[in-house]
Amino acid sequence: MPLPLLIFWVILYIIAAILLIVTCYVFFIGAPFVPTPQRVVDKMIAAADLRPGMKILDPGCGDGRMLISAVRKFPTIKGVGYELFFVAYILGWFRTRKYKKNIQLLFRNSDYADLRGIDRVFCYMLPKPLARNAAKFKKGLKKGAKIISYAFQIEGWKPEKIIQSEPKKNYGPIYVYKI
């Protein structure tokens, strides 16, 4: 095998190994990338009672669809999204580019998110990471902030309301919590 071809394959395997390690890390500390159905996104945005000028957070934003949908509906909203799964982050980065003025997408762990000034948090997290973040939400979010969680409840918290997202499609409920 010629040396340039060998180098190409070695580099390709190294990149694949790095992506595999990062993916395993994401599954270990968070959740796999499972896009929220657009109909559920629309219902979550309606449940959030968004108003112009609010600041929203999506701690596992995936491809950015929640942030994009919110900004399309309310062009003065500012959104911050965190994503650790590289493939989803790149997809989200491409999808949110035209909303750069309103959406900031970060390739990092949302455990260290700055919660000051956040009015709404959108979550589609498994119970363990949701519970881990719940204490931070209670401590860091301002009074009156809302957390909108799709499919999973925050253990020990009483939702302000529960909305059936798409019963015919067997999608999970939407839980709305208020700080």
| Tens digits of residue pLDDT in 56-95 | 999 999 999 999 999 999 999 999 999 988 889 999 999 9
CA-CA distances (angstroms) from residue 73 to 3, 50, 69, 100? 54, 9, 6, 16
Question: Residue 25: its pLDDT value, please?
Answer: 66
**Residue ranges covered by each domain of the chain:** 1-30, 38-178
- Rounded to two decimals, the pTM is 0.84
First CA to last CA across the chain, in angstroms?
Answer: 63
Using DSSP's 3-state secondary structure scheme, residue 139 falls into helix
- Around Cβ 22, how many Cβ atoms within 10 Å? 16
pLDDT tens digit string along 108-163?
A: 888 889 999 999 999 998 888 898 899 899 999 999 999 999 999 999 999 999 99
pLDDT band with cut points at 50, 70 and 90 for residue 103: very high
Question: Residue 29: its pLDDT value, please?
Answer: 65
Q: Which of 5-14, 27-36, 114-123 has the lowest mean pLDDT?
A: 27-36
Per CATH, the number for 38-178 is: 3.40.50.150
Amino acid at 169: K
pLDDT tens digit string along 18-29?
A: 777 766 666 666
